[in-house]
Structure 1
Amino acid sequence: MSIVVTGATGQLGRLTVEALLRRGGPAADIVATGRDTAGIKDLADRGVVTRRADFADPDSLAAAFAGAEKLLLISASIPVDERLAHHCRAIDAALTAGVSLIAYTSMTRADTARTILAGTHRATEEYLRERDAHAVVLRNSWYLENYTDQLPLALQHGTFLGAAGGGRVSAATRADYAEAAAVVLTTEGHTGAFYELGGDQAFTLAELAATASAATGTPIAYSDLPAGAFTQALTGAGVPPELARILADSDLGLGRGELFTDTGDLRRLIGRPTTTLADALAAALR
């Protein structure tokens, strides 16, 4: 059985390859792809097949997906107005290659959420249906790393910034989402499923700040800003304008409950409780 993972040069893709290896299948049955395979040479050294796959280059996709039985299509981290076209090319290439299952990493509540990112995910899910693809949709909530990576700045300035109000986010670690993807790719019975994936313990950004304060012994507050002011704060910190706009828009969605899920799907797939915010913060501090 050949399993192809797109975006293996990125964090979620690499973690999924590692999770597949831990599940005991032959390394030679895993195909790790990326635009620049130099970044995954270490995987090749461990017996994983590595191939170039560029969503903008259909010929590279045809070669990368050749002989694959299952595909993990990790949503593209590119300009948002290009994402759908790239996803459609990958889906077309997978179906032409005869892939029997496409697992797509979408976003919580993608069918109803009003954020910019959710729109691209919803359109991709619709394209999978239009193409009558055998698919499973992994609707991931936010990464805990989105917050733990901010910890140095929060400690420096004594605050987390956001525009989420009192909304609750069901964030989980990339490793938990990767493990769920590996389970779906190596077990049966998932075709047609829509999994709403998130951490067991949802939290507000005020609770994030309180938990970070307890973990560090340093007072950290949450400062809730209007979306425009949050966008300006992000760009002032060096975040590219388009990304700043998307992050502020996503916080508004968080405030509307669009990154919250209590299905327990992630816990059931990985067979254990999800990583807690407190544990993720402790790991980041280490």
Structure 2
Amino acid sequence: MTILVTAAGGQLGHLVIDALLRRGIAASDIVAGARTVSKVADLVERGIRVVPLDYTAPASVAAALDGVDSVLLISGSEPGKRYEGHVNVIEAAKTAGVGKLVYTSLAHADTIDFVLAPEHKATEEALVASGLPAVILRNNWYAENYLPDVLRAADTGEIAASVGDATVVAASRADYAEAAAVVLTEDGHVGRTYELSGDTAVSYADIAAAAAIVLERAVGYAPITRTQLEESLAGAGLDAGTIGFVAAMEDGIARGVLSDADPTLARLIGRPTTPIADALRAAVDAARVTV
């Protein structure tokens, strides 16, 4: 069985490959597709075949799929530009006769009113229409999304957000990566859609408390209004489109779109999901190593 991991140059892709190797998949049976192959030089050293793969370049997708049995389609990283690239991969996988395609979607993508949801919903619909044997992993929030906030809090002593008392059920990238490796390597998952999240909903006050543990200093949560958020982002030099996008994300979180805990992730990986403080500590440690 040959498995192609797309977007392998990113953090999630690397972690999935790590998880596949831990599950006993031979390096020679893993293909790492990356838009920038220099980002996966470490994988070459581990005996993994690396191929150029750009979602917006169909020829590169078709070439990457040569001899592949299963594919992990990691969603693109540029909101507003993802869907077309996803469809390129889906169509190429169908042409290649791929036996299983796993897609990393978003929690409740088909029902929630959230700025990130439409492209995921459309991709899921395209995947179903393709007839490919597929598994949809609806990942909730990544704990690592809070890394910039935690690093700023090391200086400011606070985490500011316009989400009120909302909660999220974030899990670590490593948790989501392990789940992807499970469904890629086990039978019985095709045709399933899994809602994946952390075990416990946490408030932003909880996140600040976890940051305090990691940073070993006092950190508080500072609720702000949407207007204050937009003014802060403008002061940081962000353009109007980005400001509106970030504000819309926080508005969705404030409405509770990421607060629905589900036990499926823990069941798939066979252990509790990573506590928020542990996930943040690992992210901070990794960031400090790369500085």
TM (norm. structure 1) is 0.93
Structure 2: distance between partners of 1:119 and 1:43: 33
Q: What SS is found at the alignment partner of 1:150?
A: helix
Partner of 2:57: 57
Task: Quote the offset at 1:228 in angstroms.
Answer: 4.0
Q: What SS is found at the alignment partner of 2:167?
A: coil
Structure 2: distance between partners of 1:204 and 1:117: 20
The correspondence of residues 25-36 of structure 1 with structure 2, limited to 5 A, is 25-36=25-36
Structure 2: distance between partners of 1:198 and 1:40: 28
Say if 2:250 is the partner of 1:258: no
Task: Quote the offset at 1:4 in angstroms.
Answer: 0.5
Q: What SS is found at the alignment partner of 1:68?
A: coil
Task: Quote the offset at 1:225 in angstroms.
Answer: 2.5
Partner of 1:41: 41
Residue by residue over 1:9-66, the C-alpha shift from the partner in whole angstroms, topping out at 9 and shown as x without a partner, is 0110111111111111111110100112121122112111111111111000000011
8 A Cα contact 2:168 2:259, kept in partner: yes
Q: Which stretch shows the higher mean deviation, 2-11 or 207-216?
A: 207-216
Partner of 2:274: 275
Kindly provide the amino acid, as one letter, of the partner of residue 4 in structure 2. Answer: V
Task: Quote the offset at 1:129 in angstroms.
Answer: 1.4
Structure 2: distance between partners of 1:31 and 1:240: 38
Structure 1: distance between partners of 2:284 and 2:72: 31
Partner of 1:152: 151
Structure-2 change in CA distance of 1:225 and 1:106 (3 Å)? same
Structure-2 change in CA distance of 1:213 and 1:188 (3 Å)? same
Partner of 2:24: 24
Partner of 1:15: 15
8 A Cα contact 1:162 1:248, kept in partner: no
Q: How many residues align?
A: 285
Structure 1 runs not aligned, ≥5 long: none
Kindly provide the amino acid, as one letter, of the partner of residue 93 in structure 1. Answer: A
Structure 1: distance between partners of 2:60 and 2:146: 35
Structure 2: distance between partners of 1:240 and 1:100: 43
Structure-2 change in CA distance of 1:68 and 1:235 (3 Å)? farther
Q: What SS is found at the alignment partner of 1:81?
A: coil
Task: Quote the offset at 1:241 in angstroms.
Answer: 5.1
Partner of 2:109: 110
| C-alpha RMSD of the superposition | 1.8
Task: Quote the offset at 1:280 in angstroms.
Answer: 2.3
Task: Quote the offset at 1:276 in angstroms.
Answer: 0.2
Structure 2: distance between partners of 1:282 and 1:42: 24
Partner of 2:99: 100
Q: What SS is found at the alignment partner of 2:124?
A: helix
Q: What SS is found at the alignment partner of 1:76?
A: coil
Structure 1: distance between partners of 2:166 and 2:224: 13
Structure 1: distance between partners of 2:280 and 2:115: 28
8 A Cα contact 1:65 1:97, kept in partner: yes
Structure 2: distance between partners of 1:281 and 1:42: 24
Partner of 1:175: 174
8 A Cα contact 2:106 2:120, kept in partner: yes
Structure 1: distance between partners of 2:42 and 2:215: 35
8 A Cα contact 2:151 2:284, kept in partner: no
Partner of 2:288: none
Task: Quote the offset at 1:98 in angstroms.
Answer: 0.8
Kindly provide the amino acid, as one letter, of the partner of residue 43 in structure 1. Answer: L
Task: Quote the offset at 1:238 in angstroms.
Answer: 5.1
Structure 2: distance between partners of 1:282 and 1:81: 31
Q: Which stretch shows the higher mean deviation, 250-259 or 109-118?
A: 250-259
Structure 2: distance between partners of 1:57 and 1:130: 22
Structure 2: distance between partners of 1:214 and 1:16: 28
Q: Which stretch shows the higher mean deviation, 181-190 or 155-164?
A: 155-164
Q: Which stretch shows the higher mean deviation, 160-169 or 236-245?
A: 236-245
Structure 2: distance between partners of 1:235 and 1:66: 46
Structure 2: distance between partners of 1:215 and 1:8: 28
Structure 2: distance between partners of 1:144 and 1:71: 25
Task: Quote the offset at 1:248 in angstroms.
Answer: 2.4
TM (norm. structure 2) is 0.92
8 A Cα contact 1:227 1:249, kept in partner: no
Structure 2 runs not aligned, ≥5 long: 286-291
Structure 2: distance between partners of 1:157 and 1:101: 47
Kindly provide the amino acid, as one letter, of the partner of residue 140 in structure 1. Answer: N
Aligned-residue sequence identity (percent) comes to 45
